[in-house]
Amino acid sequence: MGMFEGKKILILGVANKKSIAWAVAQALKNEGATLAMTYMNEAIEKRLRPLAEELGVTDVLPCDVQSDEEIDNLFTELESRWGTMDGLVHSVAFADKDDLAKPFSEASREGFKLALDISAYSFVALAGRAKKLMKDGGSMVTMSYLGAERAVDNYNVMGVAKAALESSVRYLAADLGSQNIRVNAVSAGPIKTLAASGIPQFKQLLANFAAKAPLQRNTEAEDVAGATLFLLSSLGSGVTGETTYVDCGFNIMGV
Ligand code: NAD
Ligand code: 0WE
């Protein structure tokens, strides 16, 4: 009997088999969870449907997190299908490509707003709806990166968005704790996913990372899934408002 038998968990952010959210979905399924997954547009839907089928997930729903209406519709649908839910996994981020290349001091108002909207506010918007379905308490997990606290080359506006996301985790944890809802972030080391493709010198970043990290290797999506399952499960019952590093120890090292 799996640890998540009878638990209903919503996952946002599966785009393909390299997605961190896909590793989380697989691990949750292995532990008996009932899952719902979302896609942001038809292109992603096409890729997601067969993946969901592979896991036996039938609840596949649209949700562009930039739209309040789509978020509302998602939870209306989940309420009628599930009634209650136990977990939320937010694995979504986006910034305009240009903002990850040009000097940070040249970030545009629009680019800044876009990154904050999709990568940070969306978690708050989802939490506000999900809490109403978490009638027996629950657990929410989002994905962050070290660029929230350190000035990582090129991460720029995404770093500011992740700082807002990690702060939102603390405010949500304070707000929702009385309903026995825990809220945490996992700060993952760099992983070669779709969201990392086209980043200049990402290969070099991965090589430097593995060389410096105490575990002498890169982070894998499965590492992130392990910590996410801990935070979603009763093993994490006393943990809320935290950002947990899953980065092979990279963040503890000096230069
Ligand atoms: P990914 O590209 O597989 O996942 C990003 C997801 O965001 C995609 O599924 C995409 O469809 C979704 N998305 C973007 N805009 C959206 C919108 N408007 N509405 C709904 N969904 C939208 O890449 P990933 O690396 O698995 O990223 C998942 C999370 O992990 C992100 O929050 C990312 O910042 C974080 N993270 C990634 C790394 C890394 O190196 N890959 C490291 C630390 C944290
Ligand atoms: O959070 C991320 C990815 C964020 C991301 C990536 C892209 C690329 C394609 C957000 N939006 C976009 N928009 C695009 O058009 N990571 C933690 C991975 C990542 O991204 C970086 C990194 C690392 C690590 C960008 C610059 C420097 C390092």
pLDDT tens-place string over residues 164-206: 999 999 999 999 999 999 999 999 999 999 999 889 899 999 9
| pLDDT single digits (tens) 198-241 | 898 999 999 999 999 999 999 999 999 999 999 999 999 999 99
List the 8-12 sheet strands across, edge first. Answer: 59-62, 34-39, 8-12, 87-90, 138-144, 181-188, 243-246
Tell me which DSSP letter residue 199 carries: -
| CA 93 to ligand 1 centroid distance, Å | 5
Number of compact structural domains in the chain: 1
Is 121 one of the annotated active-site residues of the chain? Answer: no
Note the pLDDT of residue 50: 98
Query: 253 in a domain, yes or no?
Result: no
Helix (H) or strand (E) holding 209: helix 202-212
| pLDDT single digits (tens) 4-59 | 999 999 999 999 999 999 999 999 999 999 999 999 999 999 999 999 999 999 99
Q: Whose Cα sits closest to atom 8 in ligand 2?
A: 195
Task: Judge whether residue 255 has pLDDT over 80.
Answer: no
Give the three-state DSSP class for 186.
strand
Cα gap 147→144, rounded to integer Å: 8
Query: 1 in a domain, yes or no?
Result: no
Query: 183 in a domain, yes or no?
Result: yes
Is 145 one of the annotated active-site residues of the chain? Answer: yes
Q: Which of 116, 143, 204 to mutate to test the pocket of ligand 1 (most atoms within 8 A of CB)?
A: 143
Is 0.95 surpassed by the pTM of this model? yes
Tell me which DSSP letter residue 119 carries: I
Q: Residue 132 — pLDDT band, cuts 50, 70, 90? A: very high
Note the pLDDT of residue 198: 85
Mean pLDDT of the chain: 97
| pLDDT single digits (tens) 84-111 | 999 999 999 999 999 999 999 999 999 9
Query: 63 in a domain, yes or no?
Result: yes
Query: Dihedral of CA 91/96/99/102: which sign?
Result: positive
Kindly report the CATH number assigned to the domain that includes residue 96: 3.40.50.720
Q: Mean pLDDT, to the nearest integer, of 114-133?
A: 99
Tell me which of 121, 155, 171, 245 is the catalytic residue: 155
Regarding the beta carbon of 9 and ligand 1, being less than 6 Å apart is answered no
Query: 103 in a domain, yes or no?
Result: yes
∠241-187-134 over CA atoms, to 5°? 45
Q: Whose Cα sits closest to atom 27 in ligand 2?
A: 155
Q: Residue 1 — pLDDT band, cuts 50, 70, 90? A: confident
Phi and psi at residue 221, to the nearest 5°:
-55, -30
Query: 252 in a domain, yes or no?
Result: no
Query: 142 in a domain, yes or no?
Result: yes
Cα gap 108→254, rounded to integer Å: 33
Domain that holds residue 56: 8-247
Query: 186 in a domain, yes or no?
Result: yes
